[in-house]
């Protein structure tokens, strides 16, 4: 197990009994929603009748999120918090929370912005009690998101289903889910730097069940996603899932070679039959530019993979913890 683990291990071996359920919440600049989120979460969790904790991960927020978490921690012994040394991004913040959760039975990952309603958690727990290792919340409707965002998300999930091969991404599913302890332990063995969590969850496998819910609009604050970030997340998803784009170069090459061969025959025939009127500057230019473009694109694709190999080989820890405060 890599060296980011010891904190979680020490947390698990200290005296107080470990809770049955942990809820992990990555937070970046969520000061406005945090109190309301905790109120709703606590109401739901207390009603389950199980021992629980919530692990808030402060992902280097620039507002008063940490102060808010410390206040919650002082008021409610269910609260644990992990403060990262800077902003590491949602996927890693979530991983940090999962590393530090003490749950013996199951863990729930949820966003802080109330887009994932905590009220769905009892249904996730019910699915888990039926014997499923993973209960993932699947969006039946997305409110407060533009048509463009919905349709691009749709296209992305379809694409991933086609390239996924053996590992299938469930559609319209985010990180909001419940995982049994054994599936969590399996997930925590995957320590890659480029963490496309939806893909990692899917890779782990285990019996899973979808629980439908309606995705609410953000309660307060603003989304941290913009189009550029979403594009990069899609790249992350594709490159960590499949080497298909690398193979594309081979087939594109074959295709171009075949077309070139046919064109060569046509040119030869024309020259033999009609002599050689020097023509073809436009077609020469077009072919050159086209092939140049294709080659650059293919180099770029190789670069995407190479860059990721570079990042992985450094073998750095995924994140640095500034402080971990355990629940009571």
Query: Per this entry, what is the length of the chain?
Result: 328
Residue 89 lies near ligand UDP (rule: CB under 6 A): yes
Nearer to ligand UDP, 140 or 223 (CB): 223
Out of 30, 113, 133, 236, name the contact with Mg ion by CB under 5 A. Answer: 113
Nearer to ligand UDP, 109 or 301 (CB): 109
**What are the CA-CA distances from residue 145 to residues 46, 89, 259, 317 (Å)?**
31, 21, 44, 35
- Burial of residue 233, with CB atoms counted within 10 A of its CB: 0-12 exposed, 13-18 middle, 19 or more buried: middle
Residue 115 lies near Mg ion (rule: CB under 5 A): yes
Residue 93 lies near ligand UDP (rule: CB under 6 A): yes
Build a one-symbol-per-residue string for 153-192: x at contacts with ligand UDP by CB under 6 A, - elsewhere.
Answer: ----------------------------------------
Nearer to ligand UDP, 145 or 304 (CB): 145
Q: How far apart are CA 254 and CA 248, in angstroms?
A: 10
DSSP of 128-178: HHTT-SEEEEEEEEE-S--HHHHHHHHHHHHHHHHH-TTS-PPTTEEEEEE
Out of 28, 128, 156, 201, name the contact with ligand UDP by CB under 6 A. Answer: 28
A 10 A CB-CB count for 221 gives 18
324 near 81, Cβ under 8 Å? yes
Q: How far apart are CA 212 and CA 222, in angstroms?
A: 25
131 near 207, Cβ under 8 Å? yes
Residue 224 lies near ligand UDP (rule: CB under 6 A): yes
Residue 68 lies near ligand UDP (rule: CB under 6 A): no
Interface positions, 172-231, toward Mg ion (CB under 5 A) = none
Residue 227 lies near ligand UDP (rule: CB under 6 A): no
Residue 99 lies near ligand UDP (rule: CB under 6 A): no
Q: Which residues bind ligand UDP (CB under 6 A)?
A: 26-28, 30, 59, 87, 89-90, 93, 111-113, 115, 223-225
Q: Which residues bind Mg ion (CB under 5 A)?
A: 113, 115
């Amino acid at each position: 197990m890599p060296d980011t683990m010891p904190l979680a291990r020490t947390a698990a071996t200290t005296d107080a009994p470990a809770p049955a359920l942990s809820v992990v919440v990555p937070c970046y600049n969520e000061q406005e929603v945090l109190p309301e989120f905790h109120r709703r979460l606590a109401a739901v969790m207390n009603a389950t009748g199980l021992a629980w904790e919530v692990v808030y991960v402060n992902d280097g927020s620039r507002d008063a999120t940490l102060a808010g978490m410390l206040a919650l921690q002082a008021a409610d012994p269910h609260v644990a918090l992990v403060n990262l040394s800077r902003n590491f991004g949602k996927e890693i913040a979530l991983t940090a929370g999962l590393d530090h959760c003490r749950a013996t039975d199951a863990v729930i990952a949820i966003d802080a912005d109330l887009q994932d309603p905590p009220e769905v958690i009892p249904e996730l727990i019910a699915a888990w009690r039926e014997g499923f290792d993973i209960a993932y919340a699947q969006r039946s409707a997305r409110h407060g998101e533009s048509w463009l965002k919905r349709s691009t998300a749709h296209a992305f999930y379809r694409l991933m289903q086609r390239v996924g091969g053996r590992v299938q991404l469930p559609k319209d599913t985010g990180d909001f889910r419940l995982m049994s302890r054994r599936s969590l332990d399996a997930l925590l063995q995957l320590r890659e730097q480029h963490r496309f969590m939806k893909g990692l969850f899917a890779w782990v496998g285990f019996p899973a069940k979808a629980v439908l819910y309606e995705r609410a609009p953000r309660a307060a604050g603003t989304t941290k996603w913009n189009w550029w970030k979403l594009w990069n997340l899609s790249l992350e998803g594709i490159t960590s899932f499949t080497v298909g784009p690398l193979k594309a170069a081979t087939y594109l090459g074959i295709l171009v070679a075949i077309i070139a061969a046919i064109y060569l025959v046509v040119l030869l025939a024309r020259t033999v039959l009609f002599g050689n009127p020097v023509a073809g500057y436009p077609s020469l230019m077009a072919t050159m530019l086209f092939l140049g473009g294709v080659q650059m694109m293919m180099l770029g694709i190789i670069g995407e993979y190479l860059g990721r190999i570079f990042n992985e080989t450094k073998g750095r820890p995924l994140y640095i913890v500034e402080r971990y405060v355990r629940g009571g």
